[in-house]
Amino acid sequence: MGKMMALRGILLLIVAFDGVVSQFQPHLEILPMQSIQRKPVGKSLMLTCRPNVPDVNLVSDLQWKDDQNMTVLPKPIEYYRPLYDSSGNRLPVKPGQQPPPMYTEVLPGDQSLALLIPVLTDTMAGTYYCTASYANTELMVQSVRIETYVAITWKDAPENQYPILGSDYVVKCEVTARPAPSIDWLRNGDPIKTGDRYVVRTHGLLIRSVEEADDGIYTCRAAVIQTGELVERSIRVEVQIKPQIYGLPSVLETVEGQGFSTFCNATGKPVPEFTWVKSIDQRNVAQADRFIVNSITGQMNILTVDKDDYGYYTCIAKNAAGVSQSQTLLDVVIRPRIYELWNTTVAVKVEGQLLCKATGRPPPLITFRRWGSKEELVPGPQPNDDRIVLEQSFDDERGESSGTMRILDVNRTDDGLYECVARNKGESAFKVGHIAVEYPPTFDYMKTLPPVFSWEERPVNLSCLAEGIPNATIEWRLNERLITELYDRNFEIQGSGPRSDLIVTPVDNRYYTAYKCIASNRLGRSEHIMQLKLARIPDAIPQAIPRIVTATSITFDIIAPPVELGMPITAFSVQYIRELDRDWNNAFNRTWSPDSPYIVEGLFPQTTYNFRFAARNLVGLGQWSAYKLQSTPRRSEPEPPRLLHNPIDDSEAEDGADPMVMSPYADHFEMRWSVPPNNGELIDFYQLRYCPGVKVNGEWHETGELCVTRDIHASEATAYDMSSLQAGTYYRTELRAHNAIGFSEPASLMIKTARGGDVVLRKDDPILSSVAIIAIAVGGVLLLLIIMDLLCCKICNIGLLATIRQSGNKSSPSRDIDDDNKFSSSSLVKEPSPSPLPSPSSLKMGLTPPKLTPLDDDQENQPLNNVAANGGVKFIPSSVDYDGTMTYSRSGELIGRNSAV
């Protein structure tokens, strides 16, 4: 055993010594050091042969030899020319100038020689030798073996693949390599188990009956055991779904002349693109005028539908998985158009009809209605008038329809405008036709007119207007004789129909009689008797009763005398004198219109007056009558003011309760009143008192400490704004008038304010709102404009006020002339109405006593101190107008001063 160990040690020493000796023996080294170089085809390779000798300078004839023992030559010198010029542009390659498949290069520094193979091919596999001489005596040789293989290469393996739902699909993964690789698959990182649905094939992975759940990332993994190469390829698989159109109706309906829009909806993956095609000419409507198609949403818009757009349209949905299409009919509703409606003329008692024709798709329904009425005719006889029958007909092929309104027994009320209504799904069309009903002349409306009056040989118009179609001709007769044959210059006929005026100048009583107007047309004739009567002044007034007597005024109730139709009373007049003055020539006059209050003002207190009254019409003033002796009371406190408020219905209130008024505001109320008679002393102020309170068991209880009393100067206004009231509260108000003698009786009123919170002004609230500030600013501007206009009027006689004043001055004379004409003119009006002569709209007559000044007690019983310088009475002419609210007096014509009793 010990001998064996010693022998092994000796052998190790010999080997080590041999290594040391060989280390210093000249030889060649090939780098890389592996004796076998395995490289993939297509790659480049460089092998370096380096001498390992004591003295490199003794090495010579260093070269490489290929597997055919052919010396590999160095790279020719022409291949060392630069590839790019100084500007960076690639230099052209000379024809046939291709680098050799392999060549050698001497590496600087250590006398190494490199074998360079730019592109390795299968034919280059084999054993290569590096040889050299050392000191010209020793030959050095070193070899290396080059083995080639084909690396794993993806020949057909797209990174994105799109199978179609429901089909069989092979996920492509074709790999080339030598030696042949092995293939396995993963899905979303998990190995795929092959079976019924997944089958691994040479060129990929077969998926049977692709489902949407097969989406995912598939990994194709190739491995070569011999080379240890392993390469993975990630493939994104997205299942695509063929488009499927849904929800497209078989018929779409639109209206001619309107816009239209519809959608084509489809499922699919990826989202399909849409196309609309008109089937009749296979034209893509997106390229046509008036059509707009959104290929993403499938919406088709028609800006303005034309009747030629009618037809079938195909929606095509397309994506990478396939194409789907569906067809629909676009039915264009053509709006109705009435193309025939003729006016018609028919006589009474015969049948008439109105025909209306229209076109449209579908054929429109035609009916009629009276112009201005919303009620339309129904087919057949009408429920409320079986004389009227509606007949309808339709032509679907031609798109036409007609409607006929037949009136079996026409009467005058059927005359008028009728509207034809043609209606279908699109809209309605309207056209108006006229049925003119011919009928004999008639004087129906003239039968209620009053007689015509004249007096003092005044010419008068007898106007005769006959209704009839065709227009009637008119002739006049007196005592069954044609007036035209009488040759009487007191008759003048103007017009022969349908209106004719007989102008009569009644010079004596023979002309106050009946005149016959005869109208005729081709359908018949009619007669009308017109009376011309002699007009007279009114009868005496039967009675005038004093109703309200104050110290300075008396209000009368006048009972009018009976009058004849057509001769109304136009005014009432009064004359009055003091009891001691028996001369009516010195009387004061006052005239009222019939609808005004009959008030005599300006009287003296504690004075007795004698009154007489007369009525006036167009003829003149009637006889004085209704004599009345009336005294005025002494001067006293004023009459109670009359409150100008309409109380609410208080029929359920207790007797004697104050009237109730609801305020529209919660915190204030405006009290308004009219000026009462002052009873001989001027009113200097009004006193208003208002108190809040409640009514308990029918009795009013005031809150005394909250009562407010205000004195309002008479010259300021006849209204007062009661402010700072409480919301939803009852207030009792008392208003009294005051003159030098004392207070009047109070006028009472109950007020209830509206509900709402009281207005509380906080410290941080602005004193004036923005609206109030704007209103003040606008008011200031208006005031400035008024002042400027007033200055222009005063200085230059220009501006708005000057224009109003000038127009007023121009109109006054004409108004006075018109008033005079109403009573004294005898000129003939050429175009009067067929009714009797109209009465004047208002009369301005009478006298007003002079304005009285306050008297003391000694003056009250003195005679009238209205004596002129010549000792006569000074008459002040005046007139009285009444507008329904107040009575106004102004100077005017003196009437009746010397009227006889």
Hey, is 434 helix, strand or coil? strand
Judge contact between 893 and 877, C-beta under 8 A.
Answer: yes
pLDDT in tens, 285-328: 999 999 999 999 999 999 999 988 999 999 999 999 999 999 99
**Position of tokens 């008679």?**
677
The rounded distance, in Å, linking the Cα atoms of 593 and 884 is 11
State CA 883 to chain mean position distance.
43
What is the four-CA torsion angle of 316, 319, 323, 326, rounded to 10 degrees?
Answer: -30
CA distance 718 to 484: 67
Contact 525, 516 (CB under 8 A): no
Higher per-residue pLDDT: 536 or 808: 536
Is 60 exceeded by the pLDDT of residue 755? yes
Q: One-letter amino acid identity for 560?
A: A
Q: How confident is the model at residue 2 (pLDDT cuts 50, 70, 90)?
A: low
Distant-in-sequence, close-in-space partners of 651: CB < 8 Å, separation ≥ 6 = none
User: What pLDDT score was predicted for residue 41?
Assistant: 87
Question: Residue 314: what residue type?
Answer: T
List C-alpha distances in Å: 617 to 571, 572, 626.
Answer: 7, 9, 18
Which among 338, 471, 344 is positioned nearest to 407, based on CA atoms? 344
Q: Estimate the crossing angle of helix 800-824 against helix 770-795, to 10 degrees.
A: 70
Q: What was the pLDDT predicted at 822?
A: 37
pLDDT (0 to 100) of residue 700:
77
Alpha carbon of residue 897 to chain centroid:
68
Residue-wise burial string across 719-755, b where 16 or more C-beta atoms lie within 10 A, e elsewhere? ebebeebeeebbbbbbbbbbbebeebebbebbbebee
User: For residue 429, what are the β-bridge partners?
Assistant: 422
pLDDT classification of 133: cutoffs 50, 70, 90: very high
List pLDDT tens digits, range 652-686: 445 567 888 999 999 999 999 999 888 888 999 99
Q: How many CA atoms lie within 13 A of 446 on its CB side?
A: 25
For residues 106-113, give the mean pLDDT: 81
Q: What are phi and psi of 143, to 5 degrees?
A: -120, 160
* H and E: helices and strands count for the chain: 3, 63
**Residue 492: partners with Cβ closer than 8 Å, 6 or more residues away:** 502, 503
DSSP assignment letter at 847: B
* Amino acid letter for position 622: G
Whole-angstrom distance, CA of residue 683 vs CA of residue 674: 12
| pLDDT 10s digits, 565-610 | 889 999 999 999 998 888 999 999 999 999 999 999 999 999 999 9
CA distance 34 to 39: 12
DSSP 797-831: S-SHHHHHHHHHHHHHHHHHHHHHHHHH--PPPSS
Q: What is the pLDDT of residue 7?
A: 59
The side-by-side arrangement of strands in the sheet containing 45-52 is 27-31, 45-52, 112-117, 103-107
Q: Give the three-class secondary structure for 783.
A: helix
The strand pairing partners of 612, in sequence order, are: 575
> Are the CB atoms for 664 and 583 separated by under 8 Å?
no
Collapse the DSSP code of 55 into the 3-class scheme (helix H, G, I; strand E, B; otherwise coil) and give the result. coil
Name residues whose C-beta falls within 8 Å of residue 150's C-beta, 6 or more positions apart in sequence: 40, 41, 176, 177, 178
Alpha-carbon gap, residue 274 to 264, rounded angstroms: 8
Taking a C-beta distance cutoff of 8 angstroms, is the pair 562, 645 a contact?
A: no
Confidence of residue 825 (pLDDT cuts 50, 70, 90): very low
Alpha carbon distance 492, 512 (integer Å):
16
3-state secondary structure of 866: coil
Tell the burial category of 886 from Cβ atoms under 10 Å away from its Cβ (0-12, 13-18, 19+): exposed
Task: Answer for the pair 413, 498: CB distance below 8 angstroms, yes or no.
Answer: no
Give the closest residue to 31 by CA, choosing from 119, 142, 148: 142
**What type of residue sits at position 237?**
V
pLDDT of 489 over the 50 cut: yes
- Dist. CA 443–CA 465, nearest whole Å: 7
Would you state the structure tokens that stand for residue 74, as one six-digit string? 């160095």
pLDDT bracket for residue 484 (50, 70, 90): very high
- Sorted by sequence, the CB contacts under 8 Å of residue 284 that are 6+ apart come out as 275, 276, 277
Residue 754 DSSP symbol = P
Q: How far apart are CA 48 and CA 34, in angstroms?
A: 12
Q: Which residues of 345-372 are buried (b: 16+ CB within 10 A; e: fewer)?
A: ebebeeebebbbbbbbbbbbbbbbbeee
Residue 858's pLDDT is 37
How many Cα atoms within 13 Å fall on the side-chain side of residue 578? 17
Residues 822, 813: Cα–Cα separation, whole Å: 14
Q: Does the pLDDT value for residue 342 go beyond 70?
A: yes
Query: Which pLDDT band holds residue 780 (cuts at 50, 70, 90)?
Result: confident
Are 441 and 472 in contact by the 8 Å Cβ rule? The answer is: yes
* Least confident piece of the model among 132-146, 473-487, 498-512, 870-884: 870-884
Report phi then psi at 459, rounded to 5.
Answer: -60, 145
Per-residue pLDDT for 890 more than 50?
no
Confidence at residue 654, expressed as pLDDT on a 0 to 100 scale? 54
